[in-house]
Amino acid sequence: MSDIDIEQYKITEEPFYQPSGNEIDQYEAAYAARLPVMVKGPTGCGKSRFIEYMAWKLGKPIITVACNEDMTAADLVGRYLLDADGTRWLDGPLTTAARIGAICYLDEVVEARQDTTVVIHPLTDHRRTLPLDKKGEVVKAHEDFQLVISYNPGYQSLMKDLKQSTKQRFVGMDFDYVPADLETRIVAEETGIDAGTAARLVQVGEAARNLKGHGLDEGISTRLLVYAASLISKGISPRDAARMAMVRPITDDFDIRDTLDNAIDAVFTEGS
């Protein structure tokens, strides 16, 4: 596998990440022990950014897989393909990561079928191997390989959850939306808007999060706050940007929309 260009999987520029606790030290310890990590938290709270930041900080390649319900085990481990010369084997992202010593990040892993996720089990215990049954090969993971998975436990139904036999193969890290002052700094740093406008966007976001379970399945994520700020930086009025990025994507319920639109109007008063 020496023909694989490992550098293509490395993050060359530092991703912006604002720590909210000792999560960096915790992850570094887990990586040093080569323990598989499970990152849990609501949508858009910074889980993926954190993993990218840690891959950059550690100087390790990272291969990210956006899991979905149509993903098969072959999509992860690989398959035989037909070409002009006959058949050839093509490694999947999980196999590639195991071979080259990358961090393999399975984003929203519960979206994948349970019969697909069981293929990760041998990589998450003392064996650190990946059997390629169709190829008749057992890949022994590179010493630098680490498996990381993420999901949103508050969003998943009983039909979309990890088996205990899978969960107990990982160490877990909880993520949530950060305090308002820190979130304000993140939004301002990410987009370049002024701190006052960023604080108002955060204020609207917090109001929406209070509606979770009372008409909203999910609150407004930090990601959506950044989207709104990005629109503002391109000349869209704060009110319109907030409606476009923070309200319209999360609900089609007219009563909830009106409630949030009124909150936007109250926060972004004339002349503010």
- pLDDT tens digits, residue range 212-245? 777 787 889 999 999 999 999 999 999 999 999 9
Task: For 73-126, write each residue's pLDDT tens digit.
Answer: 999 999 999 988 889 999 999 999 999 999 999 999 988 887 888 999 999 999
Q: Looking at the predicted structure, is the pLDDT value of residue 157 above 80?
A: no
- CA torsion sign, 183 to 187 to 190 to 194? negative
Counting other chains too, the contacts that 167-170 makes at CB distance below 8 Å and 24 or more residues apart are 167/38, 169/36, 169/120, 169/121, 169/124, 169/125, 170/35, 170/36, 170/37, 170/38, 170/124
Task: For 29-88, write each residue's pLDDT tens digit.
Answer: 999 999 999 999 998 999 999 999 999 999 999 999 999 999 999 999 999 999 888 899
User: CB of 210 within 8 A of CB of 242?
Assistant: no
- The backbone torsions φ and ψ at residue 134, rounded to the nearest 5 degrees and listed phi first, read -65, -25
**Cα-based distances in Å from 218 to 109, 211, 224:** 18, 8, 12
Chain-wide mean pLDDT for the chain?
A: 92
Q: Looking at the predicted structure, is the pLDDT value of residue 271 above 50?
A: no
Q: Looking at the predicted structure, is the pLDDT value of residue 272 above 70?
A: no
Arithmetic mean of pLDDT, 179-195: 96
Render the burial of 78-89: b for 16+ CB within 10 Å, e for the rest: bbeeeeeeeeee
**Cα-based distances in Å from 96 to 63, 69, 144, 223:** 8, 22, 13, 30
Number of neighbouring beta carbons within 10 Å of residue 156: 14
- CA torsion sign, 221 to 225 to 226 to 230? positive
Arithmetic mean of pLDDT, 1-10: 82
65 secondary structure, DSSP code: E
Task: For 162-185, write each residue's pLDDT tens digit.
Answer: 888 899 999 999 999 999 999 999
Amino acid in position 117 = T
The span from the CA of 238 to the CA of 229, in Å, is: 8
